[in-house]
Amino acid sequence: MGDGMKRNFMIDLFQRGLVRPGWSINGDLEPLAEIEEREDRIIIMVDLPNVRKEDIEVHATEDAVEISAKMNQFVEWKKWGSIQREITFKSFRKYISLPSRVDPGKAEAIFRKGILKIELPKVKERFLIGIK
């Protein structure tokens, strides 16, 4: 299957609702997010294509994370001797409930190549108490 046929096939699947992008067609942004719980921390990975680091905000509490971002995308295409340009501006806000309590003051976030990685250390629930 040639590149043009593959592209048309994917567009057809997308229009029929069988394939969903990270950013929905009606302007609502729905970034893909993955939450991984480890013994000592929770890791959240969020797919944010076409977003700049300075357009992202992350807020954390002991039991939740809220991520907001703005996206602007510049598209230019040439067809039949004319040039068309389009700039779209969109934003989203995502609230993620966490499976365990965390220490938000020690959280770290890294944004690289369109992927936001947030590491949140868990709050220790049990402490060993020394006996005198």
Structural domains in the chain, CATH included, are 1-25 (no CATH), 31-121 (2.60.40.790)
User: Structure tokens of 68?
Assistant: 């907001």
Residue appearing with tokens 């250390």: 121
Predicted TM-score (pTM) above 0.75:
no
Task: Name residues whose C-beta falls within 8 Å of residue 122's C-beta, 6 or more positions apart in sequence.
Answer: 39, 40, 41, 42, 100, 101, 102, 103
Average pLDDT over residues 52-62: 94
Residue 114 near residue 53 (C-beta atoms within 8 A): no
CA dist list (Å): 97 to 27, 67, 78, 86, 100? 24, 12, 44, 36, 9
Residue 25 has pLDDT above 60, yes or no: no
- pLDDT of 10 > 50? The answer is no
Q: What is the pLDDT of residue 48?
A: 87
Contact (CB, 8 A) for 37 and 44: no
CA gap 66, 51 in Å, rounded: 16
C-alpha 23/C-alpha 28 separation (Å) is 7
Q: Residue 56: pLDDT above 70?
A: yes
